[in-house]
């Protein structure tokens, strides 16, 4: 089974802090994704990566950056956390195919920014 | 731009009843996925539908895909409380890179 893990289930940070969310997958997937999920807004794609050191902006990249130094690891960085970044963050991975392919999700990190 | 719409967005039903959730999408695709999300949890893959006419079943849930109508359905048979969750459909296109486009989700509540 594909396993996607995220470094923290719950995280509380202060406004202005730099925050790192880590995601690791163990199935050699090329593609990795970061979403945020807020009530009434569904799933929104922040960034994704289809290869090591490659990244693509999603629909809401502002205020975020990402890093993919190894195939299995994809990090989401909040350079200066703000209260409007309080959310559930979901990481996912998928095999590269000619289209999107089934995505497998991690357990999520619920981030609260005070 | 691919749009994916689910209806209903909220569904409250009694145990033992049948119902169908609909997923419509705006651009031709023959690949569609269904996910389940329990409150406070992440998304869990339910079904992968990869061709016109595909039908998958697991337990009380059955999913189908009609690519000509750009429609997928998730049918619930004799609902039980354990099926209470939010269900998402997601569509991909060969031209979308690696991305999936998700519907808004259908929040299902099954009452005893």
A5-46: pLDDT as tens digits = 999 999 999 999 999 999 999 989 999 999 999 988 889 999
Question: Would the pLDDT of B98 be above 80?
Answer: no
Q: Which of residues 4-33 of A touch B (CB under 8 A)?
A: 30-31, 33
Distance between A84 CA and the closest CA of chain B, angstroms:
19
Average pLDDT estimate for A64-69: 97
Q: What is the pLDDT, as a whole number, of residue B96?
A: 67
Q: What is the pLDDT, as a whole number, of residue A99?
A: 55
CB contact under 8 A, B98 and A105: no
Q: What is the pLDDT, as a whole number, of residue A109?
A: 97
Q: What is the pLDDT, as a whole number, of residue B99?
A: 84
Pick the more confident residue, B76 or A97.
B76
Q: Nearest CA to A56 among A88, A30, A79, A38?
A: A30
The owner of tokens 């920014």 is A113
DSSP B22-76: EEEESS--S-EEEEEE-TTS-EEEEEEE-STT-EEEETTEEEEEETTTTEEEEEE
B26-80: pLDDT as tens digits = 988 888 999 999 998 999 999 999 888 999 999 999 999 999 999 999 999 999 9
CB contact under 8 A, B98 and A98: no
Q: What is the pLDDT, as a whole number, of residue A2?
A: 63
Percent of chain B exceeding pLDDT 70 equals 96
Q: What is the pLDDT, as a whole number, of residue A38?
A: 93
A70-94: pLDDT as tens digits = 999 999 999 999 999 999 999 999 9
Confidence band of B108 (pLDDT split at 50, 70, 90): very high
On whether the CB atoms of residues B89 and B4 are closer than 8 A, the answer is yes
Q: What is the pLDDT, as a whole number, of residue A95?
A: 86
Q: Report the largest interatomic distance among the alpha carbons of chain A, rounded to a whole angstrom.
A: 42
CB contact under 8 A, A100 and B45: no
Contacts of A25 in chain B (CB under 8 A): none
Q: Nearest CA to A7 among A67, A103, A91?
A: A91
Q: What is the pLDDT, as a whole number, of residue A1?
A: 67
Q: Nearest CA to B48 among A2, A75, A27?
A: A2
């Amino acid at each position: 089974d594909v396993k996607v893990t995220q470094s923290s289930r719950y995280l509380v940070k202060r406004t202005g802090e730099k925050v790192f969310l880590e995601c690791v997958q163990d199935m050699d997937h090329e593609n990795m994704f970061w979403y945020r999920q807020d009530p009434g807004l569904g799933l929104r794609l922040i960034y994704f990566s289809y290869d090591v050191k490659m990244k693509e902006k999603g629909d809401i990249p502002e205020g975020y950056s990402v890093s993919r130094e190894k195939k299995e690891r994809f990090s989401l960085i909040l350079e200066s956390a703000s209260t409007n970044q309080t959310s559930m963050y979901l990481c996912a991975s998928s095999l590269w195919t000619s289209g999107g392919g089934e995505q497998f999700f991690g357990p999520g990190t619920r981030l609260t920014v005070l | 731009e691919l749009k994916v719409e689910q209806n209903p967005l909220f569904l409250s039903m009694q145990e033992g009843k049948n119902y169908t959730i609909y997923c419509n999408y705006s651009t031709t695709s023959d690949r569609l996925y269904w996910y389940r999300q329990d409150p406070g949890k992440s998304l869990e893959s339910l079904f992968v539908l990869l061709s016109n006419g595909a039908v998958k079943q697991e337990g009380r849930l059955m999913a189908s895909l009609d690519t000509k109508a750009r429609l997928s359905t998730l049918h619930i048979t004799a609902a039980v409380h354990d099926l209470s969750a939010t269900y998402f459909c997601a569509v991909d296109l060969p031209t979308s890179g690696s991305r999936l486009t998700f519907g808004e989700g259908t929040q299902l509540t099954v009452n005893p």
